Structure 1
């Protein structure tokens, strides 16, 4: 049995509400639910598990819980699931957690959590409160939304559309790679302008496959677009991949699945506080694999936006 003193004080003082997105990870949440419930009991943590059918339902349930005075709220799902919880909780004095059972889990990885759901839950229950950044996007439709890990326009947004549709039940990274390869078929590169409001950086114009705006070092289940990014660096990490063609993409993928170190002038990176993306024709923008709207979009960092329970930063 775990010593109760090993758990953070907030978990000893109040019950945790765990919102379970039953649709996340092709149903993986249901598979791990009983085991995670037992783990919480072994830590002497009181927890109420609330089943939801979607991220949208989870967000609404979390808002209700906050209005009722709940102080510790966890999301059991993927990056999109945590995005829903973060938007519900932003501005409230609450502690958040993520139990990663989704398809991507890049935000959880950036927190230093293991891939295995039970090991991740164990790490959280032994963790400590940390304030982390989020990114805030304003779309052409006027929608304002926080997202946790990575977002962008171009090939990755089209891949996100497939990943949440026809390829939804593919496991882990294979879901995103298969979706990206499918999105390549007939994809037309974007004529894009990248502006950096409040910065001395020169605006960029390019024919691009992808323009990503990241908070975490990876997205798409481990593609390392921004190797130096952390969740506490107060920055938007912008990555522009020029039109390198299908062969170029196939050559690039293994490097992105590895260290993320690229020796090519066709990939450009910037670290800023705010970025604006404008395209010749409207293009979809995704955040954490969820389609959030279309261009033009403006993305900015929100430093220390939420408090999460996680291992200490390395």
Structure 2
């Protein structure tokens, strides 16, 4: 769970402040295939006439700390070069502040950048961000705030997974072998053999539900996992969160419906139900959630849509 020391509201309206541009880059993102582009990305940002500073970090925790420090020291903009994990760490620093934020997609999964309208090609995205910096232009979009049972809070931009996919992620992160994508594939096989519906309690604003489900996702944006449109109707500008619940799926039925997530047509399946709310309280036994693909809080949690919580450089 990402812990925040403050509980800011929406970012205030207005243009981009004076100050430097901080850049968080993950050279290992996307298996390093965009590593050589970083000098060109830095050049494009330097073309704005502002001081551009590359942050130093060797871990997710250090990345988050470096971003928080850059914002505290007066950065006017923060640019995250990497995938959803890199974006997630940066969002913890800029949420609820007037600091402009630019995701440059260079990871295996770039769902937040794609769903908020940034180009898929890293240099094109960098040019979009640089143009916004030069013009002093930002566009507010929503984020989701997660509050754990101990009161700690964190932010996410795309989707919170709280069902089968979260369980698979948790197992994969405990495994030492194999490496890379094969570890995740093996975790799917292991957890499919253990698949069972779990009892969830959901409070959607003032409505309370009890459901048996294998899949629960809370989306600020439509996609997670590198293009799986789990919450296809989610809109990061509507001040609401979309909740998609997959009910009592068998192993076979779950695997058959999974390919439909790429088009978002799984929501038409009779075992899938969708809801929309501003605040969601979600509880179940033995589930650790994953937000933007990063380990978040164990259930129960409260997830709240915060309108205009981040100012995108678009």
- Same fold, judged at TM 0.5 (above): yes
Distance in 1 (CA, whole Å) between partners of 2:171 and 2:118 is 27
Report the secondary structure of 1:51's partner residue: coil
Q: Deviations over 1:130-158 (max 9, x none)?
A: 11111111123432111111002121112
| Residue matched to 1:142 | 151
Distance in 2 (CA, whole Å) between partners of 1:269 and 1:308 is 28
Distance in 1 (CA, whole Å) between partners of 2:242 and 2:269 is 18
| Residue matched to 2:5 | none
- Give 1:80-229 correspondences, 5 Å limit: 80-127=85-132, 128-161=137-170, 169-170=180-181, 180-181=188-189, 183-197=191-205, 199=206, 201=207, 203-229=208-234
| Residue matched to 2:61 | 56
Is 1:157–1:286's contact at 8 Å kept on the other side of the alignment? yes
| Residue matched to 2:270 | 265
Distance in 2 (CA, whole Å) between partners of 1:143 and 1:44 is 38
Q: CA deviation at 1:82?
A: 1.7
Is 1:106–1:218's contact at 8 Å kept on the other side of the alignment? yes
Structure 1 residues 139 and 187 mapped into 2: Cα distance closer, same or farther (>3 Å)? farther
Structure 2 residues not aligned, in runs of 5+: 1-14
Instruction: Report whether the alignment pairs 1:293 with 2:302.
Output: no
Distance in 2 (CA, whole Å) between partners of 1:22 and 1:153 is 29
C-alpha RMSD of the superposition: 2.6
Report the secondary structure of 2:232's partner residue: coil
- In the alignment of these two chains, the number of paired residues is 294
Q: Deviations over 1:46-86 (max 9, x none)?
A: 42222322222111111211222111111122222222212
Structure 1 residues 151 and 178 mapped into 2: Cα distance closer, same or farther (>3 Å)? farther
Is 1:73–1:95's contact at 8 Å kept on the other side of the alignment? yes
| Residue matched to 2:313 | 309
Q: Deviations over 1:154-186 (max 9, x none)?
A: 21112333565667733xxx9977764554232
Distance in 1 (CA, whole Å) between partners of 2:119 and 2:294 is 23
| Residue matched to 1:4 | none
Distance in 2 (CA, whole Å) between partners of 1:163 and 1:118 is 32
Deviates further, 265-274 or 159-168: 159-168
Structure 1 residues 187 and 22 mapped into 2: Cα distance closer, same or farther (>3 Å)? farther
Q: CA deviation at 1:278?
A: 1.4
| Residue matched to 1:242 | 247
What stretches of structure 1 move > 6 A for 4+ residues in a row?
174-178
Is 1:193–1:277's contact at 8 Å kept on the other side of the alignment? yes
Is 1:62–1:88's contact at 8 Å kept on the other side of the alignment? yes
> TM-score, normalised to structure 2's length?
0.83
